[in-house]
Structure 1
Amino acid sequence: MLVSYNWLKDYVNIDDISAEDLAEKITRSGIEVEGVEVLNDGINGVVVGHVLEKEQHPNADKLNVCQVDLGKGETVQIVCGAKNVDKGQKVAVATVGAVLPGNFKIKRAKLRGEESNGMICSLQELGIGSKLVAKEFSEGIFVFPNEVEVGTDALEYLNRNDKVMELGLTPNRSDALSMLGVAYEVGAILGRDVKWPSTDYETNSEEASDYISVNVEAFEDNPLYVAKVVKNVKIGPSPLWMQGRLMAAGIRPHNNVVDITNYILLEYGQPLHAFDYDRLGSKEILVRRARKDEKITTLDDAERTLTEDHLVITNGSEPVALAGVMGGANSEVQSDTTTILLESAYFNGVTVRKASKDHGLRSEASARYEKGIDPNRTHEAAERAVALMAEYAGGEVVGGSVEVNTLKAEPAVVSTTVEKINSVLGTSITAAEVKDIFTKLKFDVTEDNGSFTVTVPTRRGDITIEEDLVEEVARLYGYDNIPTTLPVSAATPGVLTAYQAKRRKVRRYLEGAGLIQNITYSLTSDERAKQFALEDGKAIRLAMPMSEERSTLRLSLVPHLLEALQHNIARSLQANAVYEIGSVFIGKEGTVLPEEKERLAGALTGLWQQHPWQGEKKAVDFFVAKGILEGMFSMLGVNEAITYNRAEKDGLHPGRTAEILLDGESIGFIGQLHPEKLNELDLPETYVFELSLTALLGESIGEIQYEAIPRFPSISRDIALVVDRETPAGELEAVIKTTGGSLLKEVQVFDVYEGDKIDSSKKSVAFALRYYHPEHTLTDEEVTKVHTKVLQAVEEKFEAVLRS
Structure 2
Amino acid sequence: MKVSVNWLRDYVDLQLPVNELAEQISRTSVEIEGQYQPQGKMKKIVIAKVLSVVPHPDSDHLVITQIDAGQAEPIQIVTGAPNVATGQTVILAKHGAVIGNGVKIKKGKLRGEVSNGMLCALQEIGMDDAIVPQPLEDGIWVFDEEDAKALTPGEDALHVLGLDDYILETGITPNRADMLSMNGTAYEVAAMLDQPVKMPTFTLNEAQALTQDTLTVKADARMAATYAARVIQKVRVKNSPLWLQRRLWNMGIKPVNNVIDAVNYTLLTYGEALHAYDLQSLPAAELHVQMASGDETLVTEDGVSRTAHPGDLLVMSGQEPVMFAGIMGTAKTQVTKATQDVVLEAGIFEAKTVRRTARDQNLHTESSQRLERGVDVDQTLVALDYAAALIAELGQGQVLQDAVVAQVQKLDLPVVTLHLSRLQAVLGSEITTQEVAHIFEQLQFDFEQQGDAFVVTIPSRRWDISIEADLVEEIARIYGYDRLPATLPVGATTPGKLNAKQQLIRASRHVLEGLGLNQAMSYVLTTPEKAQNFKIQLDQAGEPIQLAYPMSQDRQQTRSSLLTGLLDDVAYNVARKQNDVALYEQGRVFSVQPGAVQPIEKEHLAGVMTGAWQTRNWSQTAQDVDFYTVKGLVEQLLTNYNFVDAVRFMATNQRLEMHPGQTADIYVGETLIGMVGQIHPITAKAYKVGKVFGFELDLQAIMDLPKVMDQYEAISRYPAISRDLAILVDTAVTAETLRQALVKAGGKYLKQIDIFDVYTGEHVPGGKKSLAYTLTFVNREQTLTDEIVNTAMDRIETVLRDEFAAEIR
Q: TM-score, normalised by structure 1?
A: 0.64
Partner Cα separation in structure 2 for residue 596 and residue 39 of structure 1: 69
Query: Which residue among 684, 698, 710 is the counterpart of 1:595?
Result: 710
Give the match for residue 255 of structure 2.
253
Give the letter aligned to residue 81 of structure 2.
A
Q: Distance in 1 between matches of 2:456 and 2:291?
A: 38
Match of 1:309 among 301, 308, 311: 311
Could you tell me how far apart the structure 1 residues matched to 2:452 and 2:467 are? 18
| SS of match in other structure, 1:47 | strand
Go from structure 1 to structure 2 and tell me whether the alpha carbon gap of 1:149 and 1:469 turns closer, same or farther (over 3 Å shift). Answer: same
Give the deviation of 1:538 after TM superposition: 12
Aligned residue for 1:253, secondary structure, equals coil
Shift of 1:401: 1.6
Aligned AA (1:485): T
1:282-431 equivalences in 2 (<5 Å): 282-431=284-433
Change (3 A) 1:490 1:155: farther
**1:196 to 2:311 alignment:** no
Q: Secondary structure of 1:167's match?
A: strand
| 1:175 corresponds to | 178
Per the alignment, do residues 406 and 120 of structure 1 end up closer, same or farther by CA in structure 2, a change over 3 Å counting? closer
Give distance in 2, aligned partners of 1:516 and 1:315.
Answer: 61
Distance change >3 Å, CA 221–CA 540, structure 1 → 2: closer
Q: Tell me if structure 2 keeps the 8 A contact 1:33–1:167.
A: yes
Match of 1:229 in 2: 231
Aligned pairs, how many?
583
Q: Kindly provide the amino acid, as one letter, of the partner of residue 171 in structure 1.
A: P
Q: Deviations over 1:573-626 (max 9, x none)?
A: 99x9xxxxxxxxxxxxxx9726399xxxxxxxxxxxxxxxxxxxxxxxxxxxxx
- Secondary structure of residue in 2 paired with 1:186: helix
> CA contact under 8 A between 1:108 and 1:117: conserved in structure 2?
yes
Aligned twin of 2:748: none
Q: Which residue of 2 aligns with 1:71?
A: 70
Q: Distance in 2 between matches of 1:142 and 1:538?
A: 74
Residues 446-474 of structure 1 show CA distances to partners (whole Å, capped at 9, x for unaligned) of: 11111111111111111112211111112
Q: 1:528 to 1:309 in 2, by over 3 A?
A: closer
Structure-1 separation of matches of 2:650 and 2:484: 55
> Separation in 1 of the partners of 2:422 and 2:230?
48
Q: For each residue in 1:724-757, what CA deviation from the matched residue of structure 2 results, as whole angstroms up to 9, or x when unmatched?
A: xxxxxxxxxxxxxxxxxxxxxxxxxxxxxxxxxx
Counting aligned pairs with the same residue, the percent is: 38
Give yes or no for contact 1:541–1:552 (8 Å, CA) kept in 2. no
Residue 682 of structure 1 is matched in structure 2 by: none
1:291 & 1:531 partners in 2: Cα distance? 56
TM-superposed CA distance for 1:378, in Å, is 0.8
Q: Distance in 2 between matches of 1:328 and 1:171?
A: 29
Classify the secondary structure of the residue corresponding to 1:41. Answer: coil
DSSP 3-state at the match of 1:225: strand
Confirm whether residue 4 of structure 1 aligns to residue 4 of structure 2.
Answer: yes
Partner Cα separation in structure 2 for residue 538 and residue 32 of structure 1: 47
Displacement after TM superposition at 1:277 (Å): 1.4
Residue of structure 1 aligned with 2:269, choices 267, 270, 274 = 267
1:671-709 superposed Cα distances (whole Å, 9 cap, x missing partner) = xxxxx9xxxxxxxxxxxxxxxxxxxxxxxxxxxxxxxxx
Partners of 1:570 and 1:302 in 2: CA distance: 33
Return the alpha-carbon distance in structure 1 between the equivalents of residues 168 and 237 of structure 2.
32
CA distance in 2, matches of 1:495, 1:291: 58
Structure 1 residues 468, 116: closer, same or farther in 2, change over 3 A?
Answer: same
Separation in 1, partners of 2:310, 2:643: 63
2:100 is the counterpart of 1:101: yes
Q: Say which SS state the counterpart of residue 345 (structure 2) adopts.
A: strand
Residue type matched to 1:360 in 2?
N
Check whether the contact 2:237–2:257 (CA below 8 A) recurs between aligned residues: yes
| Contact 1:203–1:398 under 8 Å retained in 2 | yes
Deviation per residue, 1:505-552 (Å, 9 max, x gap): x99xx99xx999866869999996699989x99985745769675758
Q: Which amino acid aligns with 1:7?
A: W
User: What secondary structure is seen at the aligned counterpart in 2 of 1:259?
Assistant: helix
1:121, 1:142 within 8 Å by CA — same for their partners in 2?
yes
8 Å contact kept, 1:309–1:354: no
Residue pair 1:235, 1:335 contacting (<8 A) in 2 also: yes
CA–CA distance in structure 2, aligned partners of residues 321 and 357 of structure 1: 16
* 8 Å Cα contact 1:223-1:405 kept in structure 2: yes
**Shift of the alpha carbon at 1:489?**
4.1
| Cα offset, 1:399, TM superposition | 2.1
Contact in 2 for aligned 1:12/1:192 (Cα 8 Å)? yes
Q: Quick one: distance in 1 between partners of 2:17 and 2:273?
A: 30
Note the residue ranges of structure 2 that are not aligned, 5 or more in a row. 499-505, 519-579, 587-604, 608-626, 652-663, 669-674, 693-705, 713-757, 759-809
CA positional deviation for 1:572: 10
Deviation, structure 1 residue 136: 5.2
Aligned AA (1:114): E
Aligned 8 A contact 1:223 1:404 in 2: no
Name 2:447's counterpart in structure 1. Answer: 445
CA 1:441–1:545: 2 relative to 1, 3 Å: farther
Instruction: Report if the CA contact (8 A) 1:530-1:539 is conserved.
Output: no
Give SS of 1:338's match: coil
Question: Residues 542 and 552 of structure 1 are in contact (CA less than 8 Å); yes or no, is this contact kept in structure 2?
Answer: no
Q: 1:526 to 1:193 in 2, by over 3 A?
A: closer
Matched, 1:46 2:45: yes
In structure 2, the residue corresponding to 1:360 is in which secondary structure?
coil
Unmatched tracts of structure 1, length 5 or more: 554-559, 577-590, 598-675, 677-804
1:9 Cα deviation (Å)? 0.9
Distance 1:62 1:495, change over 3 A: farther
Q: Which amino acid aligns with 1:12?
A: V
CA positional deviation for 1:171: 1.1
Matches within 5 A, 1:456-535: 456-489=458-491
Matches within 5 A, 1:112-261: 112-135=111-134, 139-145=138-144, 146-147=148-149, 148-216=151-219, 218-261=220-263
What is the Cα deviation at residue 319 of structure 1?
A: 1.9
In structure 2, relative to structure 1, the CA distance for the partners of 1:133 and 1:426 (3 Å cut) is same
Name 2:790's counterpart in structure 1.
none
Residue type of the alignment partner of 1:124? Q
Partner of 1:640: none
The range that moved more, 202-211 or 1-10, is 202-211
Quick one: distance in 1 between partners of 2:103 and 2:345? 46
Q: Is the contact made by 1:133 and 1:252 (CA closer than 8 Å) also made in structure 2? A: yes
User: Aligned partner of 1:211: which letter?
Assistant: T
Counterpart contact for 2:96–2:106, Cα < 8 Å: yes
1:603 corresponds in structure 2 to: none
Contact 1:525 1:550 in 2 (8 A): no
Range moving further from structure 2, 284-293 or 152-161: 284-293
Tell me by how many angstroms 1:292 deviates.
4.0
SS in 1 for 2:276: strand
Q: CA deviation at 1:31?
A: 0.5
